[in-house]
């Protein structure tokens, strides 16, 4: 059986092994193929039965050119890069990795907040540049330092990752509010569930931990920002399309938002004209909160299990049943 990996580098830049897949068939791994629809995608798939992708799109046109394809396995939870409905029509299964980065993504969200509160990277840089050695005082700080104990966190999307972030924030002495369409008992043990307007009005820090849907695209915009406390902090390492980037930029420039910590943007890689690049007090990192080796190993292991289950005739983690 032929297996093709279209964009393997971000999953495995060299510190993991493809051996689990290689035990299942004839595997060809491409580090990168294309992030837009391109004839080269179908060319590389060829007559492969199993196609593994992360961000390389599998469109209707590609599906039509690859009649031997039977399984599209994503190295990710999101699977919008495939035309999964058309794949279903053609009898092609689409599998994903439903859970892998709960711990590291929640940890990273808190890391963004702590960097905003203390500017550790900046101060380390100034010390190495010699500022402390030349300073007349025994200490200094270039930005106001923020203590989080007693402040209120609002978490929009209180599933596994949101609850992980909530537990860490609670351990730091913060009060936790949550907004989610499906409250549950594990969430109630951590947070007080409230409506969205209440969360926006009462939170000193707002985390986005929700899936992207047609209903919540651009949910952080000038109208919802107006409902926030003056000087609120926004953290988003969920989906870049959840925020209106120009509105967030304007709020940072006006001071309505004190700071933002973002690991995702609307279009990735980020475009040079993204307005957030001009915004003050805005930390942007390159969609890396998922990338801990431990999390990527889980992706690898679950993907191997998905292919094994398909071969055995009992497919798992299928999203287009």
Which of the residues are catalytic? 239, 268, 287
- Specify whether the CB–CB gap between 30 and 3 falls below 8 A: no
- The Cα–Cα gap between 309 and 317 comes to 9
- Specify whether the CB–CB gap between 51 and 82 falls below 8 A: no
- The Cα–Cα gap between 172 and 152 comes to 11
From the list 32, 11, 33, the residue with the least C-alpha distance to 21 is: 11
From the list 168, 232, 237, the residue with the least C-alpha distance to 200 is: 232
- Specify whether the CB–CB gap between 97 and 76 falls below 8 A: yes
Q: Which residues contact 31 (CB under 8 A, 6 or more apart)?
A: 7, 8, 9
Q: Which residues contact 81 (CB under 8 A, 6 or more apart)?
A: 53, 54, 55, 56, 57, 58, 74
């Amino acid at each position: 059986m032929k297996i093709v990996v279209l964009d393997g580098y971000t999953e495995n830049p060299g510190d993991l092994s493809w051996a689990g897949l290689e035990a299942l068939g004839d595997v060809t791994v491409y580090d990168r193929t294309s992030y837009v629809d391109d004839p080269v995608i179908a060319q590389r798939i060829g007559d492969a039965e199993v196609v593994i992708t992360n961000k390389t799109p599998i469109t209707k046109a590609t599906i039509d050119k690859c009649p031997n394809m039977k399984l599209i396995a994503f190295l990710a939870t999101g699977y919008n890069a495939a035309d999964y409905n058309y794949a279903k029509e053609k009898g092609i299964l689409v599998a994903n990795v439903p859970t892998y980065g709960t711990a590291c993504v929640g940890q990273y969200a808190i890391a963004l907040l702590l960097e905003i509160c203390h500017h550790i990277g900046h101060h380390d840089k100034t010390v190495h540049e010699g500022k402390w050695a030349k300073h007349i005082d025994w200490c200094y700080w270039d930005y106001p330092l923020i203590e989080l104990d007693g402040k209120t966190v609002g978490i929009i999307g209180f599933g596994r990752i949101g609850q992980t972030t909530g537990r860490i924030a609670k351990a730091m002495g913060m009060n936790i509010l949550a907004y989610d369409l499906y409250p549950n008992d594990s969430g109630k043990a951590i947070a007080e569930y409230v409506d969205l307007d209440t969360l926006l009005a009462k939170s000193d820090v707002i985390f986005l931990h929700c899936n992207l849907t047609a209903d919540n695209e651009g949910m952080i915009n000038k109208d919802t920002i107006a409902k926030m406390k003056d000087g609120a902090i926004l953290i988003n390492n969920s989906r870049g399309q959840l925020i209106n980037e120009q509105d967030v930029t304007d709020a940072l420039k006006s001071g309505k938002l004190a700071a933002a910590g973002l690991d995702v943007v609307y279009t990735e890689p980020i475009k040079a004209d993204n307005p957030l690049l001009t915004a003050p007090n805005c930390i942007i990192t390159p969609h890396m909160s998922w990338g801990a080796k431990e999390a990527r190993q889980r992706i690898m292991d679950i993907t191997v299990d998905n292919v094994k289950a398909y071969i055995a005739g009992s497919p798992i983690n299928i999203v287009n049943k």
